[in-house]
Amino acid sequence: MSPYRRRLLFYLLCILLLGFFLLTAFIYFYPESGADQEFSEEIQEHQHPLLDNLMRGISVFGSFPYSFSMVVATAVLFLIFKFKKEALFICLTGCSWLVSSSIKIIVDRPRPTEDLVRIVEEANRKSFPSGHVLFYVVFFGFLTLLMYHLKSIPKTLRAVIGIASLFLIFSVPVSRIYLGAHWFTDVLGGFLLGIACLLTLSFYYLKKPDQET
């Protein structure tokens, strides 16, 4: 990576992390937001049992043990086909849960309640940031990068996996709000932090062994 691109990546990471820390500070001091409630009302305005099931289906990959099983199974598949480095980095995407859990404990923001929004799916852990969104951005985002980078994989398979991954990344924020599991600022925080983690992971994956640090 050229010095210019490295500086650009550094500045982008700084912007993302600054935005996340400012949002975290806002949530910490003002956990209840009228704008969040209005956003949830807009998302939940159109309701249908089929839509409920669709949104549950979109979110299922971020729930334990499905998320853990998916990371392990994907890493094993890469190992079987001799992609050892890729398998290792796929495993590292699972660290996003540790990141989100740590911040949830610090911020300690309550989940949306039935007196404020429609609860389609009960969630027990704290609300900020959205662990689902963070995990989807890191895991499926890195999977998308691999599908672009690994030209030895059949083109059609790479396209299908890449498109499906992008769909999940951009649909899960809507899913979490529709299900009443998160506020808009929760999913925004998960998205900002997820992009920062994804960029960092991608940098080290694409970095050549003899490249200067």
- For residue 81 the two structure tokens come to 């086909």
CA distance 91 to 158: 20
CA distance 39 to 37: 5
User: Could you give the 3-state DSSP secondary structure of residue 189?
Assistant: helix
CA-CA distances (angstroms) from residue 204 to 71, 89, 92, 171?
Answer: 19, 9, 11, 27
CA distance 146 to 88: 12
Taking only the tens of pLDDT, the chain with its 213 residues reads 667 778 888 899 999 999 999 999 999 888 887 889 899 999 998 888 999 999 999 999 988 889 999 999 999 999 999 999 999 999 999 998 899 999 999 998 989 988 888 998 887 778 899 999 999 999 999 999 999 999 999 999 999 999 999 999 999 999 999 999 999 999 999 999 999 999 999 999 988 765 444
- DSSP E strand boundaries for 53-188: none
Given this model, what pLDDT does residue 210 score?
A: 55
Amino acid, single-letter form, for residue 95: C
pLDDT in tens, 59-101: 999 888 899 999 999 999 999 999 999 999 999 999 988 999 9
CA distance 137 to 170: 9
CA-CA distances (angstroms) from residue 187 to 12, 39, 127, 172, 174?
Answer: 19, 12, 9, 9, 9
Judged on CB neighbours under 10 Å (0-12, 13-18, 19+), 211 is exposed
